[in-house]
Amino acid sequence: MKPKLSKSLFWDVEYESINYEKNSRFVIERVLTRGNFQDWRELRDFYGLDKIAEEVIEIRYLDKLTFNFCHKLFNIEKEKFRCYNTEPSIRQLWKY
C-alpha cells in the first residue's frame, strides 16, 4: 500500500507513477524538506526510521533546519551526512 502523501510535494513528476521503493531517497528528501507533519507520519509508517536514516545520509543537500533535525533524531554524526561535506552549487541567492 502506498503512503498518502501530499500531491503538492511532487509537482514536477507524475504523482501516480512514483515508485516508492525505487525512488525512496527522492520521496524521503521531498517529505523532509517540504512536507508537513502528516506527511512525516506517513513516511515514517511506510519506510520505518531505519530506512529513512539509511537514505538521509546519502542526500546531497538538506537545509540547516532539516539537517539538524535528522542529525538529532537519528543520532548520526554530522560528518557522516553526504550534504555536510558537499557545498551547494549556488552559494548565494541572486539579488533581484
Tell me the pLDDT of the chain (96 aa) as tens digits. 889 999 999 999 999 999 999 999 999 999 999 999 999 999 999 999 999 999 999 999 999 999 999 999 999 999 999 988 776 665 666 666
Are 41 and 23 spatial neighbours (Cβ–Cβ below 8 Å)? Answer: no
- The one-letter amino acid code at 72 reads K
pLDDT at 1: 82
pLDDT at 86: 72
- The rounded distance, in Å, linking the Cα atoms of 15 and 51 is 22
- The rounded distance, in Å, linking the Cα atoms of 19 and 2 is 9
Q: What share of the chain is helix, strand, coil (3-state, %, to 5)?
A: 55, 0, 45
